[in-house]
Amino acid sequence: MKLRTILVAAAASLLASCSSGENAVIDLNVPGAGSKEIVLSKLQVNTIAVVDTLKLDASGNARGKVEVKADDPDFFYLSYNQKRLASLLLKGGDKVKVSVDTLGGGLTVTGSDESLRLLEIEKSIYDATAKFDSLSVEIDKALDNNDQQKIMDLQVEMSKFFVKYKRGALAQMMKEPASLSNIMLLYQKFSEDIPLFGDVHDLVYFRSIHDSLKNTLPNSKYVRALKDDVDKYQKAFEFSNKMNLAGELAFPEIEMADIKGQNRKMSELLGKPFILVFWTSTIDQQKMFNHDLKDLYAKYNPKGLEIYQVSADVDKTQWATVVREQALPWINVCDGRGTSTVALNTYAVAQLPTLILFDKEGNIVAKNIFDKAALDRELGKLSY
């Protein structure tokens, strides 16, 4: 009898844990909105659908439960009178508390770090969009008045703002690359024809975020959709960026500053076998790959092997810190321009890391070999 009681209790506990992993609970408080109804909606990749209506009690409190898997988070929205009050990024097992007034003011959220980060990102998007729209209105006025100098000044201001904001957004994403909230920044648009990350070379960022997310959320519908877009952009990128290595110099030149501020040309390495690596210091897996490179460098550098490593970081301080912490002995360069770095365009870099192995004449002999043993074999074949 005692054993049966234990088994029943264990089964009940298991069912409860399984159930909580498939649901998230929202405790909502809307002061001064007693007996009102709050609409709960859910983002379904490309559309938003109503999933429930929460009836507030006389004190403005309500509890809602949404179906969501622990390994497949979803975006949810609370609205009143067609005005969005709060955005939430929830996974199964979350128990979140939300307090907000009917105008969206005084918003507080506890119990979901991803929701807090989403709110932070949405605020930056809102502020940036407001600034961009304001400049657009001013440009329209200048156009109406045919004020060419004003038009030029405003366009320069808008361009500077766009670049500065994009760099900030990139830094924000790379700070937590495995956060699903990054999706909102990746697909942000100032207008239908002005996406924040719309340049063909921004594929590097889409791929970096996808590679981070696929490890933590492999079953997420958003990660799968992101992978589809990465594949699509990859094909377009390869079509428009065929690398031509014909000419006097077997490879396109790269000249950038190293951590000491000294300009280093890749052509310095001609006459020796060398590896060209494009990377970012913000991704742990790429920093781990540096350990493999250090082992191979120690083995083959005495014979003449060199490495020229180009960073796609925007934070040069962080990049330099990682280079020093890892004690990377080869040439490491960065200009802080991210995917705007000319070298990424020149070499049609569509993923990070990208590795290109050159012989001592400057001819490409292998690409993207990230398995240590396989790369060791290729290096062993080279003439030094």
User: Are 216 and 301 within one domain?
Assistant: no
Residues near 268 by Cβ (< 8 Å), separated by ≥ 6?
331
Question: Which among 190, 213, 205 is positioned nearest to 338, based on CA atoms?
Answer: 205
Report the candidate in 314, 313, 268, 275 with the shortest Cα–Cα distance to residue 294.
275
pLDDT in tens, 223-282: 999 999 888 877 766 655 544 443 445 678 899 999 998 999 999 998 899 999 999 998
What tens digit of pLDDT does each residue of 299-314 get? 999 999 999 999 999 8
127 shares a domain with 107:
no
Instruction: Let me know if residue 250 belongs to a domain.
Output: no
Query: Do 180 and 292 share a structural domain?
Result: no
Q: What is the pLDDT of residue 12?
A: 40
- Please check the confidence at residue 2 and state whether its pLDDT lies above 80: no
**pTM, rounded to two decimals:** 0.62
Q: What is the pLDDT of residue 202?
A: 86
Angle at 379 between CA 373 and CA 381, to 5 degrees: 110
**Is the pLDDT score of 75 beyond 80?**
yes
Final residue belonging to a domain, choices 211, 240, 269: 240
State mean pLDDT over 25-43: 93
Same domain, 229 and 332: no
Based on the domain organization, do 166 and 89 belong to the same domain?
no
216 and 135 both lie in a single domain: yes
Is a pLDDT exceeding 50 seen at residue 322? yes
Q: Sorting pLDDT into bands at 50, 70 and 90, what band is 64?
A: very high
In a domain, residue 246? The reply is no
For residue 33, name the pLDDT band (cuts at 50, 70, 90).
confident
Burial of 207 (0-12, 13-18, 19+ CB in 10 A): buried
Q: Would you say residue 131 lies in a domain? A: yes
Query: Does 245 reside within a domain?
Result: no
pLDDT at 10 over 90: no
Residue 249 lies inside a defined structural domain of this protein: no
144 is a domain residue: yes
Quick check: is 67 in a domain? yes
Question: What is the tens place of the pLDDT at every residue in 136-164?
Answer: 999 889 888 988 888 888 888 988 899 89
The pLDDT score that the predictor gives to residue 70 is 92
**Statement to judge: residues 318 and 225 lie in one domain:** no
- Burial-class residue 337 by CB neighbours within 10 Å (0-12, 13-18, 19+): middle
Per-residue model confidence (pLDDT) at position 327: 96
Q: Are residues 23 and 99 in the same domain?
A: yes
Last residue of a domain, one of 111, 127, 161: 111
pLDDT in the model for residue 237: 66
Residue 218, CA distances (Å) to 204, 222, 223, 225, 239 in order: 19, 10, 7, 11, 29
For the stretch 192-208, pLDDT in tens is 778 999 877 788 899 99
Mean pLDDT of all residues in the chain?
Answer: 87
Share of the chain above pLDDT 70, in %: 91
What do you get for the CA distance between the two ends of the chain, in Å?
Answer: 79
Distance CA 22, CA 220 (A): 14
User: pLDDT category, 347, cuts 50, 70, 90?
Assistant: confident
Q: Is the pLDDT of residue 11 over 50?
A: no
Give the CA count within 13 Å in the CB-facing half-sphere of 264. Answer: 20
pLDDT bracket for residue 283 (50, 70, 90): confident
Residues 199 and 278 in one domain: no
Parent domain of 30: 2-111
Q: Judge whether 204 and 351 are in contact, CB under 8 Å.
A: yes
Same domain, 101 and 125: no
> Do 368 and 345 share a structural domain?
yes
Q: How confident is the model at residue 233, as a pLDDT? A: 79
Q: What is the pLDDT of residue 9?
A: 41
Does residue 248 lie in a domain region? no
User: Residue 74's domain is classified under what CATH number?
Assistant: 2.60.40
User: What total of structural domains would you count in the chain?
Assistant: 3
Q: Do 131 and 222 belong to one domain?
A: yes
Q: State residue 130's pLDDT score.
A: 95
Instruction: Choose the final residue of a domain: 93, 111, 129.
Output: 111
* CATH number of residue 299's parent domain: 3.40.30.10
- Would you state the pLDDT for residue 234? 78
